[in-house]
Chains A and B, each alone.
Chain A
């Protein structure tokens, strides 16, 4: 029915998209693993980062990859501040409240961007998107190959930070046992905010990797966030390895269901997986929590 070349290309494209999805899901799963909250503002924060990349390019002509240097710390700071001064204090430690506060935050951010930029779709006006790498008979888009490699690198870096640094140990300690961590002198509120900041920094990297081939409008992030939720649930809430594997799987599933069902129904494969995993195995592939 399909030539093998098309199938291989679909699989590779799926893997490359999936790696960036995994990066977005990484921020979400890290925040869930440590703070035990679902951050509904994740998509809106991604949109903010994408607009920042677009702004840097359109106004001061900064290459999206170089923009990382500025946007990653900025997004970290934004995430730190939001958790420390808005989400934490406003939700009084109640999980349902966190859901609602982050939902409120996403409404504010998304519509704030709509008020500022209107609903026009914007893309980087550069020819980098058209460059390809030849791999035998296959043609692969250069920015997407870069995105794939960089996503894997960031995932590895994050793993190193969590496992080999004091900050990482503090984060894991808080995730495991909040009270115990507080007793040995870890400042829990600070660690929460740092974790949230790291989650946002992941979004900043993802935005820089996406923008060369993608576009942004105030609702862009919403499309990614449901995919990210699916990945997090599939991989197991809080699991970093799960986010990576889940991201790659979802990327391939999306690529193939787009090929077989067409664009308008293509996303339905993802949601069906989402619902199925939630109903049958809510702990996901790598989740430990019952």
Chain B
């Protein structure tokens, strides 16, 4: 990757890093933290779904595993929070590998892959809800102990910057996918698996590496979520909400692009916040808007917000490679 490839990412991150120092209120900062966590989960989904064309409807399986591992290792085994978060990412990747191995070996794609991932997430949710070590239906409450070793900061700005750092790493990984040989293999598998195989691409290995990477990033989002809210239950960790958020962000922002998930998460969460404000206390209205956005984007802007004309022209002018999805 050349410096020019990295420039947009660095500018975007610098702008986001400056945000909390503009004197934002605590609730705005909390909103931004949640948005970035969703963007991170979406960046993870985008590796497998956007670059690899394998639409998962169950990324909650990885989010929840990352979250539970981060919380349980600290609470039950007394691990340091950083180590627990790292292990959470590792466990997320392992679960991804396992699900990927089972389903890709069986040749599942398209609707079948969507269904099997959904079912895995549901199984995890039911198990976590019934097991003892996950706190069962009551959930887990992480004790409040601010400090660097416990990854809890009295100053919300620091936690925001930590989440932003993770988003930065995920952005760089996505940027690398756009440029590297592995990314090219992954896109080739998305466009035409048989043709890619005929050219000597090991499709199974490529998809397995993609799902592990994807699951690791979404697992990190789960770990950060539990560090941020210090509470977890099965419905939050393995619920369909995060599976949906993780796929909405990249699709609305621009599927298969590095910035898509970040743009999508900011746009959707912003819109959701405005709708909630306008709708008063009526529940569900923000999600109605999300669902309508999803349909509208697929109907009128299949390349997402970043595929709209003003963005597209600039991308072409800079001579970037763009590979249309589903072409």
Contacts and interface: CB of A to CB of B under 8 A. Distances in A.
B298 A111 contact: no
A95 B110 contact: yes
A53 to B, nearest CB: 21
B299 interface: yes
Interface in B177-235: none
B108 A278 contact: yes
Given A99-B55, A105-B291, A272-B123, A115 B116 contact: no
Contacts of B152: none
B326 A96 contact: yes
Interface string B258-282: 0000000000000000000001001
Nearest to A38: B111
Interface of B is mostly: helix
Nearest to A265: B130
A101 interface: yes
Interface string B52-64: 0101010000000
B126 A38 contact: no
Contacts of B57: 99, 103
Interface string B161-180: 00000000000000000000
B295 A99 contact: no
A104 B294 contact: yes
B288 interface: yes
Interface of A is mostly: helix
Interface size class of B (residues with CB under 8 A): 35 or more
A264 B127 CA distance: 9
A131 interface: no
B123 A111 contact: no
B31 interface: no
Contacts of B150: none
A92 B299 CA distance: 7
A274 B130 contact: no
Given A86-B295, A226-B119, A278 B103 contact: yes
Contacts of B114: 38, 99
B102 A114 contact: no
Contact of A103 (B108, B279, B282, B294): B294
A100 B294 contact: yes
A112 B284 contact: yes
Contacts of A132: none
A151 B126 CA distance: 29
Given A100-B251, A106-B291, A111-B285, A271 B111 contact: no
5 contacts: A97-B302, A104-B292, A115-B282, A274-B115, A278-B112
